Amino acid sequence: MLKRRLEEILGKSIINTSGLGGGCIANAQKVETADGGCYLLKSGGLYGMFPKEANGLKEIAKSRTIAVPDVIAADDDFLLLSYIQSGPISPDFFRDFAFSYAQMHRYTNGQYGFYENNYIGETKQLNIPSDKEANDWTRFFFNKRLLYQFKLAESNDYVKQEMRQAFSKIEDNIDLIIGTSKEAPSLLHGDLWGGNYIAAQGGKVVLIDPAVYYGHREADLAMTKVFGGFPPAFYQYYNEAFPLLDGWEYRENIYRLYHILNHLNLFGSSYYSEALQLMRFYD
């Protein structure tokens, strides 16, 4: 049934599909057509997730700063993208990546959040700001990111009293921890780590699997370090292209906390200790 739908969309006959590894939420397949065309098909996952991903890719593409796959078609149960053939990482790859990524962060919006909610992994990500959150990064980040994940962890029965006390201190001091943002809301990938970019043929970086919103770019950079980080040269070149504000090192853990709480909610108590440690950093 899906094959027939795709052939109608493409106007071409599909001659082969083959499974691709790497995804833990959706199924990924390479789709080949009779005229030699190649596409990436994502299916499975949460119903309604794929149009959100498509809109995030389109938002990044609109910035004209860094490459993403072309969105061919999206529906509640599938996403069809251009197929990106990977290639070797060139000596200049992370320099070019950093410069392009910095340019993406210079693409800004008039308020924080996004016009629709989307997903961070399989967790709903709240992006639509209240009137008070639209121009207040600290309020937006605490309410829509930390507090939402913390309440979800409570409902999943992952929160012990020691974490509840540590999070209460975060809430009391969040204005001091984050401070007042002096930058316009930047376009963020939202979930950038080593598995969410491709080194394409020709040495170009291509971003995939976004959880897009407009926020403080420090939050995006903090996510890149959750699983070990990129090579040091990436951060050096980024800071040359778009210097970070003083105090970013102190704020980094509060932004990492969002993603560790999300992993606690997605994958269970193995992330509890790390989440607690990040909270206690601000004791």
Q: What is the mean pLDDT of each run of 10 residues along the chain (283 residues)?
A: 87 87 76 93 91 98 98 95 93 97 98 98 97 97 98 98 98 95 94 96 94 98 96 98 96 98 97 98 95
- In angstroms, the Cα distances linking 234 to 191, 200, 241, 260 are 17, 17, 11, 23
Catalytic residue chosen out of the listed positions 136, 191, 209, 220: 191
> In 3D, which of 66, 48, 49, 68 has the Cα closest to residue 58?
68
Positive or negative CA dihedral for 171, 175, 177, 178?
positive
**Tokens read off for 175:** 């204005």
**What is the Cα–Cα distance from 39 to 234, expressed in whole angstroms?**
30
The domains of the chain, with CATH numbers, are 2-82 (3.30.200.20), 93-280 (3.90.1200.10)
Query: 95 and 233 in contact (C-beta within 8 Å)?
Result: yes
Supply the pLDDT for residue 210: 98
What pTM does this model have?
0.95
> In 3D, which of 127, 103, 119, 100 has the Cα closest to residue 215?
127
Compute how many other C-beta atoms are within 10 angstroms of the C-beta atom of residue 71: 19
Supply the pLDDT for residue 26: 79
Supply the pLDDT for residue 3: 85
SS3 content of the chain, % helix, strand, coil (to 5): 45, 20, 35
**What is the Cα–Cα distance from 262 to 150, expressed in whole angstroms?**
9
- Which stretches within 27-147 are classed as H helix? 49-63, 93-105, 137-141
Supply the pLDDT for residue 22: 59
Supply the pLDDT for residue 25: 74
Supply the pLDDT for residue 76: 93
Supply the pLDDT for residue 45: 81
75 catalytic per annotation:
no
Supply the pLDDT for residue 176: 97
Supply the pLDDT for residue 24: 61
